[in-house]
Amino acid sequence: MEKIEIKHHVSLKKLNTFGIDVMARNFASFQTVASLQEVLETYKKQTPQYKAVLMVLGGGSNILFTKDVDGLVLKNEITGIEKTGEDADYIYIQAGAGENWHRFVLYCLEHQYAGVENLALIPGSVGASPMQNIGAYGVEIKDVFHSLEAFEISTGNMVQFTASDCAFGYRESVFKNKCRGEYIITSVTYRLNKVPVFNTSYGAIEAELEKEKVSERTIRSIARAVINIRSSKLPDPAVIGNAGSFFKNPEISENQYKELQDRFPGIVGYPLGNSMVKLAAGWLIEQCGPVTGKSWKGYRIGDAGCHEKQALVLVNYGKATGTDVFNLSTAILESVYEKFSVRLEREVNIY
């Protein structure tokens, strides 16, 4: 059994990819469900206001801290990847919630388990993957999700969630909405394909495969293409603080899309097949700015900014506070609404 230690006044700067300098009043990590239970028991005894904030942190790559955490921050370090079953078409793999997501993808590539190759190089933990139904290049976690186990904070019970219990949507799940803050996900079981079903519907993947002169499609060649594209386009949080896309791509009706197309012929939209169209939020942001004639793309105010290559990504150049970044996001939201009458929604979790 590991040693339980609750630390006090711990800086979270290195534990969030925005690099925002906030403090946790109390902080503990856990490596097993038993150690999680023990930490909570200890915290309960030490802290009269036990009901105060409990927050679980994975890789900190989808969170913007705007204040100190006046409670307990729990760092999930449950690791382990194991095969739990197999049938004619699928392999079932359970991974500890504290596993690094990309390490899990590499494990699948190594064993020829297909389904997560398009999701290579997404930062963060396995445990957060269902939280916003992570997605990239036409694949979402829901496509390979089987079930998860979670610790219910109010009862201390372990609960199993199936895919339908998770209510996955576009960058959404029950954990981001109705059940926010109620569960700590401890493991996730994925259902991976024995025979790959390649998804290269996103133009950038095809272009990269062509550029690299890849003649045979394999899960490895697709993962490599995704890794190349991502490495060339996205700001590395180790170099410049960010949490990936700050906003979701908004979905609007086909009618509203047609009206916008008449006014803005260059608008970028993808039909969703249900009378709705998904707009590229990055394009909308690029067309707006702090003043007429200036784009948000590449804009900087103090140490908060909108990335010069990817308008959807807000960045911390060094000493920005969470409030600086949040205020910039509000100004962007408002200007996009003013120009297009489309409301952007923040994808990043604001604390």
The verdict on 281 binding ligand FAD (CB under 6 A) reads no
Choose, from 245, 286, 329, 335, the residue flagged as catalytic. 245
Per-position b or e across 284-297, b if 16+ CB within 10 A of its CB: bbbbbbeeeeeebb
Cα separation, 161 vs 35, whole angstroms: 22
Candidates 24, 184, 260, 333; binder of ligand FAD (CB under 6 A) is: 184
Q: How far is the CB of 62 from ligand NAP (least distance, A)?
A: 7
Candidates 245, 316, 329, 335; binder of ligand NAP (CB under 6 A) is: 245
Q: How far is the CB of 153 from ligand NAP (least distance, A)?
A: 26
Which residue, among 13, 11, 180, 158, has the nearest Cα to 78 in the 3D structure? Answer: 158
For 31-182, strand residue ranges (E) read: 54-57, 63-64, 69-76, 81-86, 90-96, 135-136, 139-140, 145-152, 158-162
Q: How far is the CB of 73 from ligand FAD (least distance, A)?
A: 9
Any catalytic annotation for residue 347?
A: yes
What dihedral do alpha carbons 174, 175, 180, 182 form, nearest 10°? 110
Q: Which range, of 235-243, 265-273, 276-284, 299-307, touches ligand FAD by CB under 6 A?
A: 235-243
Q: Residue 19's binding partner, choosing from ligand NAP, ligand FAD, none, with beta-carbon cut-off 5 to 8 A by kind?
A: none
Report the SS3 class of residue 115. coil
**Contact mark string toward ligand FAD, 106..145, x via CB under 6 A:** ----------------xxxx-xxx-xx-xxx---------
CA 331 to chain centre: 23
Angle subtended by helix axes 203-211 and 219-233, to nearest 10: 100
Report the SS3 class of residue 75. strand
CB 151 within 8 A of CB 36: yes
Any catalytic annotation for residue 295?
A: no
Q: Which is nearer to ligand FAD, 57 or 342 (CB)?
A: 57
Q: Please tell me the count of residues contacting ligand NAP according to CB under 6 A.
A: 18
Q: Which is nearer to ligand FAD, 260 or 281 (CB)?
A: 281
Candidates 20, 27, 58, 147; binder of ligand FAD (CB under 6 A) is: 58
What Å distances lie between residue 274 and 80, 278, 279, CA to CA? 40, 11, 14
Please name the residue that has the structure tokens 């939020």. Answer: 281
Q: Residue 57's binding partner, choosing from ligand NAP, ligand FAD, none, with beta-carbon cut-off 5 to 8 A by kind?
A: ligand FAD
**Paired sense of beta strands 251-253 and 276-279, if any:** antiparallel
Cα separation, 254 vs 278, whole angstroms: 9
Candidates 137, 145, 299, 351; binder of ligand NAP (CB under 6 A) is: 137
CB 329 within 8 A of CB 243: no
What Å distances lie between residue 95 and 18, 125, 158, CA to CA? 26, 10, 16
Please name the residue that has the structure tokens 């047609």. Answer: 258
Candidates 92, 107, 264, 270; binder of ligand NAP (CB under 6 A) is: 270
Q: Which range, of 79-87, 129-137, 177-185, 317-325, touches ligand NAP by CB under 6 A?
A: 129-137
Q: Which is nearer to ligand NAP, 146 or 230 (CB)?
A: 230
The verdict on 201 binding ligand NAP (CB under 6 A) reads yes
Q: Residue 201's binding partner, choosing from ligand NAP, ligand FAD, none, with beta-carbon cut-off 5 to 8 A by kind?
A: ligand NAP
The verdict on 244 binding ligand FAD (CB under 6 A) reads yes
The residues annotated with a catalytic role in the active site are 171, 245, 347
Binding footprint of ligand FAD on the chain (CB under 6 A): 17, 55-63, 76, 97, 122-125, 127-129, 131-132, 134-136, 175, 183-185, 234, 237, 242-244, 349
